[in-house]
Structure 1
Amino acid sequence: MTEDLFKQINYPKNPESMSDLEKKHWPRIECPDVVEAGKPFDVTVNIGVGIDHPSELAHFIEWIDLNRGDLGTTRAYLQPKYSFPRVTFRISLDQDTMLVARESCNLHGIWENKKQVRVK
């Protein structure tokens, strides 16, 4: 199973009933559902749903991305033991946008989540 995780972008099979592996790796996007056009706002990407992801030399989150749909926005690189998998980005939008958060675990591959944000 672990080998397959590196061949694709991973999602929980059922977000309503996730395994512990899925809970540890699912990036949560925390931000308003509606924002003002051109006004900066915070988007926090937090890895883990009810279970913290380890930050050890042998098992850690390498980076966290926040994208506007298919367009890259920003990436934060993390170091084991010294940083934990939660990053806040400050962005602004000028139109309704699908935010896409991705994280890369050194053992369990890339995981993704999406959130639609409306602009008024």
Structure 2
Amino acid sequence: MTKLNTALTNQLLTDADRPLIKEVNQSKWLTKGEFRRDVTRIMTALTNVNIGYHDQVLVCLNNASAYPELMQALWALGIAVHPVSASTPVAQLLAEWHEQDYVAMIIAPDLAGELLAQLAL
């Protein structure tokens, strides 16, 4: 874990009820404690599918409160993240996928159907 990630993680350990982040279109804030729990859940999910240290992951998501949680979890596990714009066309995502040694692609649900239809597994 890097010094930055250690510092970010340590910030989440105090004052768990303090509001931290929220969606623009919602009034409820995510607290530091909720953020920390979400990061832990994401880390567990990644570890359960054998994604970890030195792996590369392509990320194509809309900007939302879950994005910083995902980044924190990926970084904490030593995963190299290649974020691309949520508006990236599926053809370009597939080109990126084939050019690099990614172990996973994390995408918005609305892209999944089109992507899977074009991806030869």
How high is the TM-score relative to the length of structure 1? 0.24
Larger radius of gyration: 2
How high is the TM-score relative to the length of structure 2? 0.23
Answer 1 or 2: which has greater helix percent.
Answer: 2
The one of the two structures with greater contact order (alpha-carbon pairs below 8 A, sep at least 6) is 1
Answer 1 or 2: which has greater strand percent.
Answer: 1
